[in-house]
Amino acid sequence: MAPFFLKVIISALLIAAVSEVARRSTLAGALLASLPATSIIAFVWLYRETGDTAKVAALSTDIFWLVLPSLALFALLPVLLRQGWGFWWSLAASCGATALAYGATVALLRFVRGA
């Protein structure tokens, strides 16, 4: 159980750091948030727990393909906010569009992989 709590603490500290840095500089916060820290942490945890480099490679490949639909959030949110939508409506619509993009990408990957 201790490794789980360590994972939670490290993840929470990363999110808190991004929030604190972004209050001072949105560019610095964006730089920190854009780093693949979550993925790196996940690679380390997965490798430590399984010792299986094939699983780490598969996770890395899947993350690569799923980063693409996540870009819908970052493209749509500022457009909606600049169009005068409220924050919560913009966030909800952007999250919805991102969920649809994820669904389409997962379906496409399953089709291509024959799963």
Give me 61's structure tokens: 């490949």
Task: Kindly report whether the global pTM for this prediction surpasses the value 0.85.
Answer: no
Q: What is the pLDDT of residues 48-105, one digit of tens each?
A: 999 999 999 999 999 999 999 999 999 999 999 999 999 999 999 999 999 999 999 9
Q: CA-CA distance, 64 to 61, in Å (whole number)? A: 5
Is the dihedral angle over the CA atoms 35, 39, 42, 48 positive or is it negative? negative
CA dihedral 8, 14, 15, 17 (to 10 degrees): 140
Helical ranges in 1-115 per DSSP H: 2-24, 26-34, 37-50, 53-82, 87-113
